[in-house]
Amino acid sequence: MRVATSQLDLRRASSLDNALDILRDRERTPIAGATDLYVALNFGTLVPKRFVDIWGLDELRGISVRDDILVIGALATYSALMRSSVVAERLPMLAEASGQVGGVQIQNRGTLGGNIANASPAGDSLPVLAAADAVVVLRNAEHERRVSINEFYTGYRATVMKPDELIVAIEIAAVEGRQWFRKVGTRAAQAISKIVVAGVRGPATRIAFGSVAPTVVRAPETERALGDGASIDDAAAVLMREIKPIDDIRSTAEYRLRVSANLLRRFWADTA
Ligand SMILES: Cc1cc2nc3c(=O)[nH]c(=O)nc-3n(C[C@H](O)[C@H](O)[C@H](O)COP(=O)(O)OP(=O)(O)OC[C@H]3O[C@@H](n4cnc5c(N)ncnc54)[C@H](O)[C@@H]3O)c2cc1C
């Protein structure tokens, strides 16, 4: 049932520590830019009505480089990622992906942490983070832990995150090689991906796909084939055995399989 926002019980956190204290009782859902959350409330697919608003926590907005690691605060918006000179320099595929999320309003409100926590297999930032071997920094009132994005998802819209934890940052070590991103949707803007791909061609070639499985996935057998010098046609054949997309309202399994193979070929040609 659709939930009116007037029925919500919202506590606004005054600091990160305050937010983590509020979450300690495990009865509140974090709300950041609310771009996913309000849609879920509107469609009646979200049961909780008690929230903690973290949008005002500027300490989670920074984008910087520390010890050669790109550190992106969970509340960094797509607009901030598109504007950031360090993202442009170190992770241009994330800037590219950010520019293809929704429209300007969504780019101004939607956050990287929200995209990760929302756990949609179609999330546009997720293949980028998977191909870059990003690390998700989780914190609760007691301690902080780090989880590879490639181990963060346990199934469809399921993650290792605990109810009292917040994503506070995303860390990305220097990425060696040429980066590439491509999203295929029904139109140029405001479209959810039918397929979304990010790749890095370098000493360790890495490629990740969204919308072809219950979670974002890397394609390790395809990566190995490319790394071993297989022809791109052979690598595409490996990929078509490796991923197992499904039919859903946005596309068919067959379309996704063929387009994934075509995108792999495009990735290889563009990064030659
Ligand atoms: C019109 C429209 C178009 C869109 N287009 C795209 C698109 O093209 N590509 C795409 O990938 N997405 C798209 N989205 C989805 C959405 O904008 C993104 O997923 C966004 O990044 C979510 O961030 P948010 O801050 O708004 O999250 P919220 O809606 O505030 O939260 C989403 C979920 O994450 C949790 N959460 C948020 N922040 C944290 C945190 N720091 N720690 C722990 N949990 C947290 C919340 O509890 C909630 O479960 C679109 C949405 C709309 C409405």
Q: What's the CA-to-centroid distance between 231 and ligand 1, angstroms?
A: 38
Number of alpha carbons in the 13 Å side-chain half-sphere of residue 89: 11
| CA 33 / ligand 1 centre spacing (Å) | 7
Top mutation candidate among 28, 35, 45, 168 for ligand 1, by most atoms within 8 Å of CB: 35
β-pair type (50-53, 195-201): unpaired
Q: What is the three-class DSSP state of 160?
A: coil
Q: What is the pLDDT of residue 3?
A: 67
What pLDDT does residue 188 have?
64
Does ligand 1 come within 6 angstroms of the Cβ of 121?
no
Q: Is 159 in the pocket of ligand 1 (CB under 6 A)?
A: no
* pLDDT for the residue 25: 80
Residues 199 and 57: their CA atoms lie apart, in Å, by: 32
Q: Are 198 and 205 in contact (CB under 8 A)?
A: no
Mutation test of ligand 1: which of 49, 111, 161 has the most ligand atoms closer than 8 Å to its C-beta? 111
Q: What is the DSSP letter of 174?
A: P
Answer yes or no: is the C-beta of 53 below 6 A from any ligand 1 atom.
no
pLDDT at 27: 83
Q: Which residues of the chain have pLDDT under 50?
A: none
Enter the tokens of residue 240.
Answer: 């078509």
pLDDT value of residue 155: 95
Distance 258 CA to ligand 1 centre (A): 29
166 CB near ligand 1 (under 6 Å): yes
Predicted confidence at residue 250, as pLDDT, reads 76
Q: What is the pLDDT of residue 190?
A: 66
- The two structure tokens encoding residue 172: 């990305």
